[in-house]
Structure 1
């Protein structure tokens, strides 16, 4: 145990004293906050500049339906001959919306043309088609002798009320909020595993390449060396994450308080707009959502985040350490990394595309129990779990740490043999042979 502590201490100190570690620890939050401020600033600039669109409506059918807004500014140049209007639009406007003169307005449905050097956005195309459809529909109803206003007035919009069997109201979009919280936690775990698992692998490869490992291995057991590297790098990573959070929050506070910079475009509402929003029913709805989020099992989610964080990292880092021992360079490790990363990617896809629609379904349940995907999928399921499903959570944690013990045993065998192997690229077949030694 004393040797394990010494290796752990050595790995931790070597990592935190590394110049790149120190630089990235303090530079990364500045980059993230700087990018957020830049995006917010650029978004506020775009709001003041609308896209200029020219309209040439030869019959005057639809030009009155196009009103200027914050995104698009329309200019009517229908008085010009089409050739002159087209030439003028190419020089002074983003594009030209051309509506030709026709015998029957209904024939406009496939004759309206937008002329521009740049491809139009899907949003703009949808707006134009919606306005043209509105004019054509009104004309069709008029020809049929139907009163459009009566039809519009007769339209009824339903509002589905959501409630629980246990009583109380449920809110729309709550599932999306739950999956976003769980997904964020799962993504943090995946990012930590990939980044710091690679650190473990590189550390092993570096010592193996420099032949330092031959001296170290004469004093400690390979298993102790592997576990010391895993735990030491994990502690350095946790320290870096904590510093990122603290520095990031401080920078965000300074940017908003002293420089008046906004971190997003949504933060640029005027005081009058904020006051109106607070007095609207939407504010009450927002309070309901906040109440629902507070009522989530936040304590359980935080506890499970720590458990899956530790279990998932140890599980995958053992494999990263085994790969580092089996190869002589990072280039040789690429063939072994894909099978490790694939379960993490699969867990993300399962979480976002299955848990959100059926959190208690067979697919979501199975993958939240399988150890290689449970650190991500189960964290997304926890906001949906009822007490009768807690056995699945307990089983998932037991299997995760049980698998960790098995994988450590499996990885230690590869580590023990591969740590002193040089000059040969191992194959999957050879790795399985090493397990028998």
Structure 2
């Protein structure tokens, strides 16, 4: 046990003293914030640009229905001959919207043409088609003797009100927020597994290549060495995560101070915010969403994250360690990486495409139990409320599978750690399991 502790201590200290570990621990949160700010800035830059579109309507049927806004500005060139308008648009506008003269307005269904060297956006195409469809629909109503004004007056626009059985008002888009929060936690686990699993594999390969491993295993058992590397790196990962949590809480506190958001289920909008909310309803809405997020089982989510992180990391890192022992270089390890990464990717896709639509359905429930995908899928289900027996069963299966995989990987590790110069394949690994 003392030898295992010494290996864990050695791996942990070597990792946390690494300059790249220190830099990325404190720089990563700032990079995420900076990336979000940059994306928002670039998105707003695109909104400031105005698309200039020329219109040539030979019969004057539709030009009045195309209204300029802050994103698109329409200019009427119908007074010019078509060829001159086309040449003018080619030099001075993004494109030319050509509406030919027809005997019947119904023929415009397939005659309206947009001329441009660049392909227009889907939104622009949809907007043009909406205008054309609206005009043609009005004409059809007149032909059939319907009053357009009365139809517009009779048209109803409903707004679905969401509430809970307790009587509290619910919010639209809350499921998407829950999936996003669970998805971020699941994605973090996936990235930690890949990053720190590779650290374990590289450490094994490096010691094996330098022949240091021969000296080390003369004093400790291969199983102790493998577990020491896995646990030491996992402790470094947990430390890094806890630092990120602290930094994240600081950023939340700063956001709370800057935007005036109040935390907790009983949070309310201050009088100053009420005045601001009368001018901008977005602040009050933001407060409501913030309150809903704070009402989620955050303690359970964070606790489950740590448990699934440990279980998932141990499960996959034992395989990474076995691969590192079986090969002589990182290049040789690539053939064994796909079976490890595929379950992680499958968990992410199952989570985003299934949990959001049916978090308690058969697919989501089954994959939240399978140990190789449960660290991701279950974390995405927890914000929706998961029966405690499912959560406990999922964790038990995860750690039971981890115990089996460690035994499985240790047999490969014990044989492969002293194998040099021989290309390893799946058949060879199978033979090692029998030793």
Q: What TM-score, normalized by structure 2, do the two folds share?
A: 0.88
Deviation at 1:127, TM superposition (A): 0.4
1:275-314 aligned within 5 A: 278=278, 286-314=286-314
2:123 equivalent in structure 1: 123
Rounded Cα–Cα distance in structure 2 between residues aligned with 1:41 and 1:282: 19
Aligned pairs (5 A) from 1:223-262: 223-243=223-243
Structure 1 residues 33-432: aligned runs within 5 Å: 33-164=33-164, 168-243=168-243, 278=278, 286-385=286-385, 389-432=387-430
TM superposition shift of 1:436 = 2.1
Partner of 2:433 in structure 1? 435
| Shift in alpha-carbon separation, 1:375–1:71, aligned structure 2, 3 A | same
1:180-200 deviation per Cα after TM superposition (whole angstroms, max 9, x unaligned): 221111111111111111111
Unaligned runs of at least 5 residues, structure 2: 259-273
What's the TM-score, normalizing by structure 1?
A: 0.88
Post-superposition Cα deviations, 1:129-151, rounded to whole Å, max 9, x if no partner, equal 00111111111212222111111
SS in 2 for 1:369: coil
Question: Do the aligned partners of residues 44 and 163 (structure 1) sit closer, same or farther apart at CA in structure 2, a change above 3 Å counting?
Answer: closer
Using the TM superposition, name which of 337-346 and 2-11 deviates more.
2-11
Q: CA deviation at 1:279?
A: 5.7
What residue in structure 2 maps to residue 265 of structure 1?
A: none
CA contact (8 A) 2:226 2:318 kept: yes
Unaligned runs of 5+ in 1: 259-273
Structure 2 residue matching 1:172: 3-state secondary structure:
coil
Indicate the SS of the match to 1:56.
Answer: strand
Partner SS, residue 368 of structure 2: helix
Report the equivalent of 1:263. Answer: none
Conserved 8 A contact 1:33-1:251: no
Taking the aligned partners of 2:333 and 2:315, their CA distance within structure 1 comes to 18
The two structures, once aligned, show a CA RMSD in angstroms of: 2.8
Q: List per-residue Cα deviations over 1:15-52 (Å, max 9, x = no partner).
A: 23334434444554454444333333333333322111
Aligned residues: 421
Q: Counterparts of 2:146 and 2:416 in 1: how far apart (Å)?
A: 83
Structure 1's 254 and 20: CA in aligned 2 closer, same or farther, altered over 3 A?
same
Q: Give the distance between the partners of 1:163 and 1:252, measured in 2 at CA.
A: 27
Comparing 1-10 with 284-293, which one deviates more in the overlay? 284-293
Deviation at 1:251, TM superposition (A): 8.8
Q: Deviations for 1:150-180, whole angstroms, at most 9, x for unmatched residues?
A: 1111122334444555655544332222222
Q: Is the 8 A contact 1:33 1:252 kept in 2?
A: no
